[in-house]
Structure 1
Amino acid sequence: MGAAFLSSWPWDNLGLFKYALYGPLVGKAVASRAWERGSPDQWLLLLLVLFTLRAFTYQLWSSYSNMLFLTRRRRIVRDGVDFAQIDKEWDWDNFLILQILMAATAFYAFPSLRDLPLWDAKGLLVGALLHVVATEPLFYVAHRAFHSGHLFSCYHALHHSIKVPTPFTAGFATPLEHMVLGALMALPLAGACAAGHGSVGLAFAYVLGFDFLRAMGHCNVELFPAGIFQALPLLRYLIYTPTYHTVHHTEKDANFCLFMPLFDRLGGTLDANTWELQRKTRAGVDEVPDFVFLAHVVDVMQSMHVPFVMRTFSSTPFAVRAFLVPLWPIAFVFMLMVWAWSKTFVISYYHLRGKLHQMWAVPRYGFHYFLPFAKDGINYQIELAILRAERMGVKVVSLAALNKNEALNGGGTLFVNKHPDLRVRVVHGNTLTAAVILNEIPKGTTEVFMTGATSKLGRAIALYLCRKKIRVMMMTLSTERFQKIQKEAAAEHQQYLVQVTKYRSAGQCKTWIVGKWLSPREQRWAPPGTHFHQFVVPPILGFRRDCTYGKLAAMRLPKDARGLGSCEFSLERGVVHACHAGGVVHFLEGYTHHEVGAIDVGRIDVVWEAALKHGLRPA
């Protein structure tokens, strides 16, 4: 049985090439120099500007609704937006293509529309009146019709398949629905033109206002103070709220109106519990996470890889793309603002085993960590985040790569020593990181070469491997630090730890474990076929085509992780860095100790088995 007529978009299979449908309009505007005064096709330029602003309106609302540091307490549906929903709504802007084609057709069919004045104040009154007496009631009737058996199953069920409303959900519907909606939007504009009061200003004001209210209703964040409806009871029937529209998404057979609940009142479809729910949501709901991963931004480009900038971009592994370059100055200014604000903020969350896991970010960028004068300020911000988590009742705080840097705070020991009575467990997660790297090394390996060998991770990996009677060439110029680590090994295993001071010493070793940056010149000493395992931040660049490069140690979260909708840096969907996963395991196992400072080599296998037991898998 085929799909219902106008239930799918004709350009579904075009992907990004669907934007070529704008091509004839853009080409016509450029060819006729539509931006010049007196151009006969100036209307075409205005139309393209209007639809660009429409897309921008939805994007701004999406950015706002994903600013969890501002909105998380007033979210109506508490679940996170997952990858499945993001993929469903990926082409949310299809309706803009449809409606600009409808508008262009109208301009060609009625040439008089091209000569509208820029402004006519009376047109606003006519448009508002027609919206109330025509668009609102007709939308109500049409919306209820789309909830009938055949129309719902063939058309409207798609819109209601979304669990968490977002501004992009407003555009996620079938072509038939958007054709009806476009026609209803056109009624006030056509009526004003027929009355002789149409104008460009009216078109911009009405259409952008319409989109503003549509996106607001789907934003899943309650905005209206409850007191305003108590002071002005009639107002609740003149403007809907995000809670009001969300009730329609959850109940389906109530709250059908476009923007004015008055028509639900007249039609007997107003949910009586809406106002109480709106009051409670506006008051705010405190959700205390059980686990927090304290992340940091890597650089200016990567700062744009967050849901409140571009949700679709953050749902894919990070990579520097051409469209980011024009946005770099904006991101740089935002970096300065965040640095000045200096407040840790929530950037994403997900649920695992029924518990809330949040990701917070320290307002510092990667290069800040290498500025000597910034050390105290960064530690202060991390300490504030830990103490905030302590007050909230968080059980485990896991520190991301640079937030636990040995030179910065001794792998977290600074905070534990300063606050010996902490109830929240501070975890660097390096035990699981070491386990992931060690389990990547092929069985049968007899020799490895390691840079960063005297770091926390390097020390633990070297001691573990020597117990397995694997020869470890530890690249270090400090004989004292090497000997200190060597003495930690049992007497019968010390012979497997070998200090080297030159990269040429590894000219025959095909297993390199990289904990310190390698330049292209240094990488040249590796023989063909070498695999570079990495725990260096940022990871080294792959210059050798005859070698392979591992990514930073990472693990895939269990399949029951819910609400996960953003990728962690350059990792795949559902994959997190091993230090993040190490904190998750610490929480799931209910460990009561802090995991800071030096790695307990004896616990590497214990933590690895615990991770596998809880459904985490190597990426």
Structure 2
Amino acid sequence: MAFCPAIRERTQTILHFFLPHSSQMGAPLSSWPWHNFGSFKYLLYGPLVAMAVGSRAWQAGKTGQVWCLHLLLLFAIRGVVHQLWWSFSSMLFLTRKRRIIKEGIDFEQIDREWDWDDFLILQIFIGAMVFYLFPSSREFPLWDLKGLFIALLLHVAVSEPLFYWTHRAFHSEQLFSRYHTLHHASPIPNSFTAGQGTPLEHLVMSLAMMVPLLGASFVGAGSVGLYYAYVLLFDFLRCMGHSNVEVFPGGLFEAFPFLRYLIYTPTYHTLHHTEKNSNYCLFMPLFDALGGTLNIKSWSLQKEISSGKNIQVPDFVFLAHVVDVGSSLHVPFVFRSFSATAFRVVPHILLFWPGGFFTMLMMWGWSKTFLLSFYNLHGRLHQYWVVPRYGFQYFLPFAKNGINNQIESAILRADKLGVKVLSLAALNKNEALNGGGTLFVNKHPNLRVRIVHGNTLTAAVILNEIPKDVKEVFLTGATSKLGRAIAMYLGRKKVRVLMLTLSTERFRKIQKEVPVDCQQYLVQVTKYQAAQNCKTWIVGKWITFGEQRLAPPGTYFHQFVVPPIAGFRRDCEYGKLAAMRLPLDVKGLGMCEYTLERGAVHACHAGGVVHCLEDWTHHEVGAIDVDRIDLVWRAALKHGLRPA
């Protein structure tokens, strides 16, 4: 092919026909007609659904409209293929050692690829048009092996070179800027990137897919099985190439060198996305070799990545836990569109609740902490690790030792890897469970990894939410780790704190920790009625609707209780759990942390981040050092973190 430059020139000439005559105009076929429809675009399938239902297409042999049902089924299965490849590539606990580009996918890329499935609508229209114009194609047999060989021959002889030359033409200066730049705007390839493109690109792709299918059909070898097999294999290979995970062992191509030219690898295609001037083939590198566009690094890089030795050690780990079955579906490898927004219960996600429950049972059996997500901040790698235990298990007495063993195992693993800081999420640092991490520090005094509960920054966030002119607050959970620190800090500031506790002994102990001239500002109360005139409530313990009713109108409920309280009062305001927004230069973050908005993390998470960025060498476990609250707050602001 290197000796046929005329082919490339003619291909570019044909495609340039679609360019606009004025630079002021958008290029024809560069945007989808249903771009502004949002979710309503799926109503475009309505006519096919109506035809399938109205003619009872599922009763094969009684109607001639069974092709409608096949098109709809094929559309659904193709979407599943893309989703499964996304799920696989996002299971970092399985794929982290074979990732090609190490960075994570951020919200900007997720939003850009939100309508990745537009091409499926186009292709189902094309399929409907073909079946409508050629009625004989509606009566295909279930399977015909001869058609498979014919389609394979036409794919190699026609589809592969057609795609190669058009793809190469799309990389010319004018066509790339008007059409192909959208596809390459996604820095981290994934299965949804495979569907991201302009209508003109997908028309070319559709033509490459149709040639083998129509060719086999015209010679009388078409079949239902051929259409399913070819289209799904086509999508499977496209998703594989965009998966950003090397799935082929390096030794395979050393044992069988000729395979290098018959099937591309994810590494091979990722090189096309990163360098853009080589590796244009569809699935067969043979055409790049003939066209002189084969990247010489393709096989050496593939071998290096497939070895599984090229991994990054994070500086910081946030050890999270699952709240309940519903929130477990919020992980990135389930539905990206769901995890990229703040968690909320939506009707359609409830359909997957049984699957989440079954996964929960599997996780109990697995009982191993796994990597969930990661991001880069100020040049340092931060990772989410998850303990496979659900919220309610933390309150089962017989589960205590098992949970602590898993947390300890994660700490020792992080210590062995060389992680600098490990921060414990809410229930993983429960005082009754392990004393806020004290158990592990005492048991392993020589730990290099710093254990951080992050409560110092949590206290700082809550305290800085309180208006400066407040003179009295009502505090529940007053003798807890956070409650104690908040009460002592406010007492020192001469703010009257109504501490709800039945334990006079615990109250007296906390009261004695503040200066003598401030002790009068800490007041023990035993009933909620004592706060009937107080408009600032700090909630560290679950309170019922009846208890909330005792607050006066206009009350603001600050809270650090997990799970957060439900807001029953319309005449009051409810704060969310203490959280901070990460700096703008954070990279690779594409998952919302539970109910928080994009870019925000819980304060205990942020506390660990600050600990890591400051390179502090002490453990932050056990009781909160009240003297460090302002210090930690200033350090957080210095590094660009802001209250959420």
- The amino acid of 1:61's aligned partner reads W
Aligned residues: 619
- The amino acid of 2:170's aligned partner reads F
Q: Render the CA deviation track for 1:254-305: whole Å, top value 9, x for unaligned.
A: 1010000011111111011110010111112121000000000110000010
Could you say which residue in structure 2 is the equivalent of 1:418?
443
Report whether the alignment pairs 1:235 with 2:259.
Answer: yes
Equivalent positions of 1:464-479 (< 5 A) are 464-479=489-504
Identify which range, 140-149 or 594-603, moves more after superposition: 140-149
Equivalent positions of 1:341-356 (< 5 A) are 341-356=366-381
Q: Render the CA deviation track for 1:418-442: whole Å, top value 9, x for unaligned.
A: 0011110000000000000000001
Identify which of 84, 89, 96 aligns with 1:72. Answer: 96
Cα shift at 1:161: 1.3
Identify which of 213, 223, 228 aligns with 1:189. Answer: 213
Cα shift at 1:51: 0.9
Report whether the alignment pairs 1:318 with 2:331.
Answer: no
- The amino acid of 1:420's aligned partner reads P
Identify which range, 122-131 or 406-415, moves more after superposition: 122-131
The CA distance in 1 between the partners of 2:348 and 2:626, in whole Å, is: 45
Identify which of 344, 347, 357 aligns with 1:332. Answer: 357
Q: Render the CA deviation track for 1:581-609: whole Å, top value 9, x for unaligned.
A: 00011111111110000000010000001
Could you say which residue in structure 2 is the equivalent of 1:527?
552
The CA distance in 2 between the partners of 1:370 and 1:112, in whole Å, is: 65
Report whether the alignment pairs 1:211 with 2:198.
Answer: no
Could you say which residue in structure 2 is the equivalent of 1:136?
160
The CA distance in 1 between the partners of 2:350 and 2:617, in whole Å, is: 46
The CA distance in 1 between the partners of 2:69 and 2:28, in whole Å, is: 32
The CA distance in 1 between the partners of 2:370 and 2:124, in whole Å, is: 39
Report whether the alignment pairs 1:581 with 2:606.
Answer: yes
> What SS does structure 1 have at the residue aligned with 2:328?
helix
Identify which of 531, 535, 543 aligns with 2:568. Answer: 543
Could you say which residue in structure 1 is the equivalent of 2:59?
36
Q: Render the CA deviation track for 1:560-582: whole Å, top value 9, x for unaligned.
A: 11111110001011100000000
Could you say which residue in structure 2 is the equivalent of 1:504?
529
Q: Render the CA deviation track for 1:104-152: whole Å, top value 9, x for unaligned.
A: 1111111111111111111111111111111111111111111112211
Cα shift at 1:39: 2.3
Equivalent positions of 1:166-565 (< 5 A) are 166-284=190-308, 285-565=310-590
Q: Render the CA deviation track for 1:456-488: whole Å, top value 9, x for unaligned.
A: 000000000000111000111111111111111
> What SS does structure 2 have at the residue aligned with 1:461?
helix
The CA distance in 2 between the partners of 1:103 and 1:42, in whole Å, is: 13
The CA distance in 2 between the partners of 1:154 and 1:562, in whole Å, is: 27
Q: Render the CA deviation track for 1:536-575: whole Å, top value 9, x for unaligned.
A: 0000000000101000000011111111111000101110
> What SS does structure 2 have at the residue aligned with 1:563?
coil
The CA distance in 2 between the partners of 1:24 and 1:541, in whole Å, is: 44
**Any stretches of 5+ residues in structure 2 without a counterpart?**
1-23
Cα shift at 1:529: 0.4
Cα shift at 1:408: 0.4
- The amino acid of 1:46's aligned partner reads H
- The amino acid of 1:286's aligned partner reads I
The CA distance in 2 between the partners of 1:33 and 1:484, in whole Å, is: 76
> What SS does structure 1 have at the residue aligned with 2:474?
strand
> What SS does structure 2 have at the residue aligned with 1:293?
strand
- The amino acid of 1:104's aligned partner reads A
The CA distance in 2 between the partners of 1:29 and 1:69, in whole Å, is: 42
The CA distance in 2 between the partners of 1:325 and 1:80, in whole Å, is: 28
Could you say which residue in structure 2 is the equivalent of 1:25?
48
> What SS does structure 2 have at the residue aligned with 1:504?
helix
Report whether the alignment pairs 1:105 with 2:116.
Answer: no
Report whether the alignment pairs 1:14 with 2:37.
Answer: yes
- The amino acid of 2:114's aligned partner reads W
The CA distance in 2 between the partners of 1:443 and 1:11, in whole Å, is: 52
The CA distance in 1 between the partners of 2:267 and 2:617, in whole Å, is: 41
Cα shift at 1:157: 1.2
- The amino acid of 2:551's aligned partner reads A
- The amino acid of 2:290's aligned partner reads L
The CA distance in 2 between the partners of 1:148 and 1:485, in whole Å, is: 72
The CA distance in 1 between the partners of 2:614 and 2:177, in whole Å, is: 45
Q: Render the CA deviation track for 1:393-418: whole Å, top value 9, x for unaligned.
A: 00000000000000000000000000
- The amino acid of 1:21's aligned partner reads L
The CA distance in 2 between the partners of 1:134 and 1:147, in whole Å, is: 20
Q: Please report the TM-score for the alignment, with normalisation by the length of structure 2.
A: 0.96
The CA distance in 2 between the partners of 1:490 and 1:498, in whole Å, is: 14
Cα shift at 1:222: 0.4
* Runs of 4+ more than 2 Å apart: none
Cα shift at 1:33: 1.3
**Any stretches of 5+ residues in structure 1 without a counterpart?**
none
The CA distance in 1 between the partners of 2:54 and 2:394, in whole Å, is: 52
> What SS does structure 2 have at the residue aligned with 1:388?
helix
Cα shift at 1:7: 0.1
- The amino acid of 1:355's aligned partner reads R
Identify which range, 22-31 or 535-544, moves more after superposition: 22-31
Report whether the alignment pairs 1:82 with 2:106.
Answer: yes
The CA distance in 1 between the partners of 2:297 and 2:318, in whole Å, is: 37
| Aligned-residue CA RMSD (Å) | 0.7
Could you say which residue in structure 2 is the equivalent of 1:59?
83
Identify which of 550, 566, 591 aligns with 1:566. Answer: 591
